[in-house]
Every structure is written in C-alpha cells, then in structure tokens.
Amino acid sequence: MIRIGIVGYGNVGRGVEAAIAQNEDMSLVGIFTRRDVGTVHPVFSDTPVYPISDLEEGKADIDVLLLCGGSATDLPVQTPSFARKYSVVDTFDTHARIPEHFAAVDKAATTASTTAIISTGWDPGLFSLMRLLEQASLPVGSGDAFWGPGVSQGHSDAVRRLPGVADARQYTIPVQKTVNAVRQGQGGFTAREKHTREVYVVLKEGADPQKVAQDIITMPHYFDEYDTTVHFITAEEMAAEHTAMPHAGFVIRSGRVGAEQEHKSLMEFRLELESNPEFTASVMAAFARACYRLHQSGCFGCFTPFDVPLGLLSPLSAEELRRTLL
C-alpha cells in the first residue's frame, strides 16, 4: 500500500481524499492542516486530521505527500520545504514561474534523496503531455488549447475582490468558430477570438451595477482582452445555479505529413468535467503512484509529467500493461 498524506484541505484536498478511496493500492494516512484540527470535517468520517506541525519532524509514516494548496503563495514555499523530508506531488499551475519552482524543488529533493513531481493535474499536467505528444508527432502544423465551458476560479476571485461585489462566478467559453478554424489548421488567434467570458455577480447593497460592470470588463489581463458579458443575479440564484465547479477543454493540433506535406492530420484531446477539482485530484493520485515508484527505484530530485514513463501511473505491472493495454 502506498501511504498518502494530504496537505491542505480545500476543494482539491477533498478531491484527493475521494480519489484515494478509488485506488486500491493507496491508503490515506491523514489530512494535515494549518487550521484548528477540530474545524476540519473530512469527507469520510474515519479520515484522521492532524496539525501540519506533525509533519515537521519528517517522521510521519508517509510515502507521498499530496500538496493541495494554492500556487500563488502556498506551493512556492511548501513544495521545496516538504521535499526536504518527504516525497511530494503538487499541482503548481503558475506557468510562468514553473522554471524557478522546479529549481527550488529539485535542489531540496536532490539534497534529501526524496522524489517530487510538480505541476500535475490537467493543465499543467495532461494538457502539457498532449501539447508535447501532438507537437512531437506533427512537427509541421499548428495548434492551440481552449478552456471551457467552465468556471475559472482565478477570474471569479478577481471579480469578488472588486468594490460593490458580494459574490461572483466567472465562466470561460471557447468560441466554436475559432475551435473549428484551429481544427482546419488555422492559427494566430487573439485571446478575444478564442474565448468569451460570462460573469454572474451578486451586488452588495447600494452598489452601482454600471460601475461594477465597467470595472469588470476593463480589468487588465483578466477581462480587458476578452468580450465579457456581466449578469447581475440574487444571492439565492447564485446558491441555486452556480455552486458546481465544472470545466472542460481541448488541445488541438492540425499538421501536415507526406513528402510534400500534402496530407492533413488532426489530433485532439478533450476533457469534459463536472468537477474540476475532483478530476484534478484524481490525476494527482495517479502521479502519487508514479512518485512512489520512482522513489522506490532510487530516482530522486524533481520531475514533471514530461519526465515520468506513463506506465508508472497505472496500478498494473509493466507486463500486465503490455498484455492488456498496449
């Protein structure tokens, strides 16, 4: 049995707790939290909850720690820090900061002879693997990724921070016409051409809807480069219709093969998820298995999904995989 510890108990942490129950070769040692232990209520009533300080000595009986904090402030500190004592898996997803995160985690894990896999989940993670497979298989071509229809947590949070906003939920929606054009081999589309954004907002009492809408659609980086529609709804409507966390996405590449590049090839990977954090957690659990096996075979340091033979993700042995899945 691979003994798993969960660090951080938000949506992804809860998803990991559920995912471990679906993998017969894994057992959950417990949830480790910064919060008061009594305030954490696990999904399954028999899951133990411990203060995060219990991990500090490095003596917890754990094979792999699954780090379920956020990429903005938690993981840049936690992943290198815990990698000094445990093998770890995270879902670090700030694409631009991956090189420095990798360097910090690699240094810690190499020094401590632990094994870390960073940036698992679906993007980065599965989508990264698809970008790579598609580009390696079709060197001549063009492609793109689309996200949605689904909820963007980052954009929802950005709207919630605006004055006058009591609650908000942002949906990212791919523009079907552009998806089709990418399938046909066209490229070079702008952010506005690829996705639209729909925002559902509950106003604070007395807030000016026109000003709030203006603040949203002009927000740099988050909304100014997109066509955004703002809908004002009641708190009751928000609670009734917008609590789910669905997401979806495509990775598409259209390439040309043949001596004169005369034959089109289309590769497309698609996800459609009723729960983004629970699926992310399920992918993370598979990478925990790979992390455990890499560590068992003496592979220390920091890895990304690109560095892991995919066979290590499966509970089946290499021989069973060749016999049943190849």
Q: Is residue 53 near its own copies by the rule CB under 8 A?
A: no
Q: Which is nearer to its own copies, 105 or 212 (CB)?
A: 105
CA distances from 243 to 151, 156, 169, 215 (A): 10, 12, 9, 24
* Least distance from its own copies to the Cβ atom of residue 67, Å: 17
- CA neighbours within 13 Å on the CB side: how many for 318? 4
326 is a contact residue toward its own copies (CB under 8 A): yes
259 binds its own copies (CB under 8 A): yes
Residues of this chain, 155-194, that bind its own copies according to CB under 8 A: none
- Which amino acid, 87? S
Say whether residue 203 binds its own copies (CB under 8 A): no
Q: How far is the CB of 292 from its own copies (least distance, A)?
A: 13
Residue 49 binds its own copies (CB under 8 A): no
41 binding its own copies? (CB under 8 A):
no
Closest to its own copies by CB, 78 or 119: 119
Give the Cα separation of 167 and 149 in Å (integer): 20
Q: How far is the CB of 128 from its own copies (least distance, A)?
A: 5
Residue 1 makes contact with its own copies by CB under 8 A: no
Q: Which of 85, 39, 92, 33 is nearest to 62 (CA)?
A: 85
DSSP-assigned beta bridge partners for residue 115: 301
Contacting its own copies (CB under 8 A), which of 95, 204, 211, 231?
Answer: 95
**Which region among 147-155, 211-219, 233-241, 255-263 touches its own copies (by CB under 8 A)?**
255-263
Three-state SS sequence of 166-192? EEEEEEEEECHHHHHHHHCCCCCCCHH
Pull the structure tokens for residue 76. 């840049």
Contact 43, 19 (CB under 8 A): no
Of the candidate spans 122-130, 165-173, 214-222, 223-231, the one that interacts with its own copies by CB under 8 A turns out to be 122-130
Distances (CA, A) of 160 to 71, 172, 215, 253: 19, 16, 11, 35
In whole angstroms, the minimum distance from the beta carbon of 226 to its own copies comes to: 23
Cβ-Cβ contacts under 8 Å for 318 (sequence gap 6 or more) = 311
Task: Pick from 1, 22, 61, 188 the residue near its own copies by CB under 8 A.
Answer: 22
Examine residue 295 and tell whether it contacts its own copies (CB under 8 A): no
E strand residue ranges, 258-298: 263-273
> Binding to its own copies by residue 298, rule CB under 8 A?
no
Asked if residue 197 lies in contact with residue 236, where contact means CB atoms within 8 angstroms, the answer is: no
Q: Which stretch binds its own copies (CB under 8 A): 53-61, 94-102, 166-174, 208-216?
A: 94-102
Tokens of 154: 């980052």
Q: How far is the CB of 78 from its own copies (least distance, A)?
A: 19
Residue 137 binds its own copies (CB under 8 A):
yes
Q: Which of 9, 23, 49, 300 binds its own copies (CB under 8 A)?
A: 23
